[in-house]
Structure 1
Amino acid sequence: MTTEASRVVHARAPGKINVYLGVGALGDDGYHEIATAYQAVSLYEDVRASDAPDFSVAFTGPVDLRELETDGSNLAIRAATLLARTTGYRRGVRLEIEKNVPVAGGMGGGSADAAATLLACDALWGTDLSREDLLELAATIGADVPFAFTGGTAVGTGRGDQLSPALAQGQFQWVLAFAAFGMSTPDVYRELDLHRERHALDIFPAETQPRVDPNVLQALRAGDPHLLAESLFNDLQAPALHLEPRLAEVIELGEENGALAGVVSGSGPTVAFLAADLDSALELQIALSAARHTVARVTGPVHGARILGE
């Protein structure tokens, strides 16, 4: 018989790729509105939650964990404490997280941790919040957390947290190239603003409210990787390459070895390569590995956060 104290709830949430990311002009509030097409991919964060008198988190996994905070600033701890505060729960939780999504890699790993933690703690504590209530809490933790919760393919607007589902046919084959370093999202956004100032005479001014290119949505609906490859776009790619020129070499290498296209995911530094089919993805994975890059072959779209077991 499992006692309440020994019960462990296991939840899982996916990382994401931004197949399109348009960034609006810098607003008076210091933020940018974005328009993005997210796709959840088969690289997962696993969260195990068990009863405890206070809140703690420990990490394992194949990625570099040295930069991770384990205090109240960690997104998983923030998710657990927010749920406890909202529902009046009086004890805490011990979180054990197996990380497969790179830290500060532009793939929303911390957001996936938070989404899985909300689900796991809700089940562990029996707080029984509705999906809508959990999504509302998710949006207050971070802009990418609602998408990690819902998964699939979706358009995100505002700060990325206002979601509308997007139809995606079939499966897309991706090869991810991970960097040995992380990138700071605020630094990349700052560099974007500087880039736009430097080239103000050469480029159109940024829209206040950007929109996802209709060609991207059409390619997703059709399940056509060739069409999607022509429309992959990220406004943060130029500033990310400016801060880390090594990423340009990675993109070039992938495209020379059969990728239909490569794009920096989110604020980087992970580079996502779209392959035409499984065979092409396997060949690309082998070529990038041979060049001593750390890579993973994944598919999308996949489901969002869910409970796997207790």
Structure 2
Amino acid sequence: MEKQAYAKLNLSLDILRRREDGFHDLQMVMVSIDLTDTLTLTPGEGSMSTNLSFLPTDGSNLAQKAAAAFRSATGQGEVLDIHIDKHIPVCAGMAGGSSDAAAVLRAMNEMYHTNLSPLELADIGATVGSDVPYCVVGGTALVEGRGERVTPGLLYTSDA
């Protein structure tokens, strides 16, 4: 199966307070953009590959973490080989790794007919990384907490 992973931009980011767990409570407006990585998932032995030699291809890659989190949460799915054709800039704040993880969750949901809603997948994604829940839902959304609370479909309106 092939899935696109969409980059995101933060339109706003407010740091509200430091939490006891070391994270910060945030309030952000995020939007998906048409800059994508392409992921190919096939049944296999759990190998990981990418077109960029410096990206991790071990269990530290968020795409592999997402596959393991999906299997753990649902009891569904087999071990997959994952290839990432990377175009989202690395370490640019555009959620490249998180969007790859979200694409894996969406793909596995489809492959194994688990019929989880985007918000249910986002809950699984929250165990993988702070931007993953938003990346599962995508579009324009209000994102709060450390990233685990996503209100999709946010529309900007102006009184002007």
TM-score normalised to structure 1 length: 0.48
Are 2:22 and 1:30 equivalent residues in the alignment? yes
Aligned letter for 2:47? S
Aligned letter for 2:30? Y
The residue that corresponds to 1:42 in the other structure is 34
2:133 pairs, out of 111, 124, 146, with 146
List alignment gaps of at least 5 residues for structure 2: none
Quote the Cα distance in structure 2 between the aligned partners of 1:27 and 1:83: 27
Larger Rg: 1
The residue that corresponds to 2:157 in the other structure is 221
TM-score normalised to structure 2 length: 0.88
Q: Contact 1:32–1:159 (CA<8 Å) still a contact in 2?
A: yes
Quote the Cα distance in structure 2 between the aligned partners of 1:133 and 1:21: 24
SS class of match (1:20) = strand
SS class of match (2:107) = helix
Are 2:48 and 1:57 equivalent residues in the alignment? yes
The residue that corresponds to 1:4 in the other structure is none
Q: Quote the sequence identity (%).
A: 34
Q: Contact 1:67–1:103 (CA<8 Å) still a contact in 2?
A: no
The residue that corresponds to 1:84 in the other structure is 71
Quote the Cα distance in structure 1 between the aligned partners of 2:18 and 2:30: 22
Quote the Cα distance in structure 1 between the aligned partners of 2:8 and 2:14: 16
The residue that corresponds to 1:262 in the other structure is none
| Post-superposition offset of 1:129 | 3.7
Q: Contact 1:55–1:81 (CA<8 Å) still a contact in 2?
A: no
SS class of match (1:47) = strand
SS class of match (1:140) = coil
Q: How many residues align?
A: 158
SS class of match (2:33) = strand
The residue that corresponds to 2:148 in the other structure is 161
List alignment gaps of at least 5 residues for structure 1: 1-8, 169-219, 228-310
* Larger helix proportion of the pair: 1
The residue that corresponds to 1:19 in the other structure is 11
Quote the Cα distance in structure 2 between the aligned partners of 1:91 and 1:167: 35
The residue that corresponds to 1:71 in the other structure is 58
| Post-superposition offset of 1:86 | 2.5
| Post-superposition offset of 1:221 | 2.7
Aligned letter for 1:142? G
SS class of match (1:55) = coil
Are 2:88 and 1:101 equivalent residues in the alignment? yes
Q: Contact 1:167–1:221 (CA<8 Å) still a contact in 2?
A: no
CA shift in 2, pair 1:221/1:46, >3 Å: farther
